[in-house]
Each structure stands twice: as structure tokens, then as C-alpha cells.
Chain A
């Protein structure tokens, strides 16, 4: 390991330890805000690892997230909490595998549209099932889990995701993923099992998204398809990841912090204009920061 990467890991560890004390030092409001930051940090980092690297822009984030939420809503009465999380991970992974197999021959715009379509399809299916079969709109989640516990779980999950990202950035699997993003045909002729790599990493990152959904579900007490499968979440994750930059696994989080804070302010003062502002932010990013804050800062340091 180089001294640079050792320093990076040491700094990450220090940051995680410091963040672990946040619920005790802050108040209910800061904890709730930080839960939101961690929620998106998990989703955007997981998104960046697969979608950012391979350039398969997915809008199915919320499908995995929602599957996690519903695993809790349906199973938390019968199963112990760790088992619920495991089931959420498995269901999210299975869904990702199915989506991955269906999209093997899709790329570019077609992949984007497919991923969005599948997320909407799942939302509609759940809505239909709940109203026709179960006979209700939503479900209640009554669990004795405090905000601080949710926060710590999300932080631990982010820690795992961080390790995955750091490992991938050094490993052959991560190298293969980058090569697939550059030119899948050439990657195949270098001996890379591109199908296997795509499916493995998509599935792994989707599991993180599902577990994120499962962890935050008790926070809402009441969930329904329009909350758990809200497509806005998928779009926000893309915007955040692109703002941060996807050239490295730690890039997306740079976009998460400012945008979660900005959305917090926006939804308080301009609740009706939220999506207009989201769209405007997206345009600004694409025009001014095509490689995100990460790319811009690299450029800045090189110029000095």
C-alpha cells in the first residue's frame, strides 16, 4: 500500500469515528438531517460504483430501495431484525440480477429508459397488489428502533460500502469494471468476462441500496408505494453522484452533502418549486461541472 492510500484510509477511519458520535452531541434535528445525508450517501456511492464506472446510467435506484422498505413492512413482525436486513439484501440482489440479465444487450439511452420503466412497473405492481389483494393503500411499521440506531446502521453500511469501493479501486475486478465503461468489446477481447463482471457488481451495489431502504423504513412508521418507490429519489441520486463526480468511489459523497442540505432548505421555503430547482441544478452541473466537483478540484490542483 502506498503512503497516499494509507493516509486516505486513516482519514476515512477518523471521519467515521467522529461521525459515530454525532447522535450524542447533536439534537433530534441534526440526527434526522444526518440520517438523510447518510441515506443518500449510501445510495449515491453504491450508484457511482456501478453506474458511474460503467456509464450505465440507472434510474432503478429506488426500485432496490423500495424493495428494502417493503421487506421491512412485510417481514419485520415475523423475523428478527438482522434476518429482515438479509432478506432485503437478497431480494434487492435478485431483482438486480434479473434487471442485469434483461439489459445485457442494452446500453446508453435504452438502458436508462429500461431502468426507469422497471422501477415504475414495480411501483405499479406493488400498488395493484396492495389495493386488490391486501385491500389497503399502505402499511404501518412499528419497530422499537431509535433515530440514533438508524443513524449508526446507515453509517456502518456506508463503512462497508467504502471498503468495497476502496477494494475495487485496487483490484482486478474494479479494473475490469473501468475497462467495460471505456469499451466493452475491447474489454472482452482482453479476456474479461464482461457479463459476469457487470452482473456481479450491479447485484452487489443493488444489495446496498435495498439494505439502505430497509434500515430507514422504520423511521417513516407508515409506508406506501408512492413513498417507497418515489422516482424522484432515483433522479436525486444521479444528480448528487454527478455533482460529486464518479471518477472515484469517494466522489459522489461530495455531491450528497451540499445537495441534501440545499434540498432541506428548499423543501422548507419553496416546497412547490422543488422539482424546478432540482432540474436547474442538474443543468448547471452538466454545463459547468461535467466531471463533478471531483474533476473540478483535480483541475484546480493541477493548475496551481
Chain B
């Protein structure tokens, strides 16, 4: 149930995001989800893509610092209170969320949330027990 997310170190300079995403575009890698965490000097670009291995290779070849991080993805109904329900499950399970980002699915009425938690396995167990849908790597990459 773990999904490989690419994390890329990016200096805070205009044009950098365009240059980096052009590299993976040329490698014919499709982006599924994207998020940027930033400070005044640098940012971390986080990407979920259809072909993580190829993406890492192309970025490293271009001299970038890339790491792979295990994250989990949950699917929820796109309705008021549904996201809160999932967060409550984690809170009651005493599982901290490091960061997260969300996007709406092509399937009508569904939304997906990418979560980075400190204890991934414990989180997976806890979410499944409480009936929250977890997406597999294939679900996400093939989306």
C-alpha cells in the first residue's frame, strides 16, 4: 500500500520548476500529483508519477538531488466531513502527519489524499481497520 514519491531539492530561483519538470517531460514521465514545500531560500518539489524509476534516473542524470519517500494514498468521498473523518482515524490512532496534499479524482465524487506519516505501516493498518480506502501503487501510477 506504499507509494513511491519523488522529492527534489530546488533552489528558489525563477524558472527552476519549469526546467525540472521539462526533464521528466522529456523522459516521457506523467505527473499524477504535485506539491511544493518552500522556504525563502529553497523548496522541496514532491511528485507522484507513473514511472518513478525512470523519473529518478533522468533527474539524477541532470545533476539534481532526488530521494524516494514512501507515502500512502487514501480515497475518500468528495463530501463535507469525509476528509475530517479520515484525519480523526489517524488522530485517534496517535499517528502524526508530516505533510499531505490532495487532489480530486477523474471518477466523479471521489477525492484522493497523499499522506506522509511517521509510522507508515501503523497508519495503513489503522486506516484499513476503520474502513478507509487505501490506493495501491498500481492504482495511482495507472490513474
A and B co-occur in one complex: no
Interfacial residues, chain B to chain A (CB-CB below 8 A): none
